[in-house]
Amino acid sequence: MPINVNGKLSLLRVHDVGTAYGPPSDQIDVEVVVQFVGRPADAYGFQLRANGNEPSRTGMLNLLRDGFNFGWHVWIDYDAPPGHHNGTLFRVWVTKDASVGPISGGPVVVGHIA
């Protein structure tokens, strides 16, 4: 059964395939990791690999990056074994306060386009 957590992000980490995250007893095999403000013991992540999930995972990373950069409210659904602090997330969405207006200056492009 999916579990939901939401709030502002305090950490957005991306690392190499195979390096994993967390202690051996609570490790997740992921490349993208997030943590929320006020929940320093809990981390959530997903794999970002060249397979059939790559387009949706790239979209999730983009949403997380925007949520982190703009201070938006981030929501995730994830799975974790009972008693574990680290889980695998599979759904991401962001919301912003009604008082927050549109972003000025247009979209921010990160990365290299060949």
Total-model pTM? 0.82
Collapsed DSSP state (helix, strand, coil) of residue 54: helix
In a domain, 110, yes or no: no
Phi, psi of 58 (to 5 degrees): -65, -40
Residue range of the domain that includes 28: 3-95
How far, in Å, CA of 67 to CA of 74, rounded? 6
CA neighbor of 93 nearest in space, from 70, 62, 69, 50: 62
CATH number reported for the structural domain that contains residue 17 in this entry: 2.40.50.50
What per-residue confidence (pLDDT) applies to 96?
85
How many structural domains comprise the chain?
Answer: 1
In a domain, 76, yes or no: yes
In a domain, 90, yes or no: yes
pLDDT per 10-residue tile (average), the chain, 114 residues: 92 95 96 97 97 96 97 96 96 83 47 42
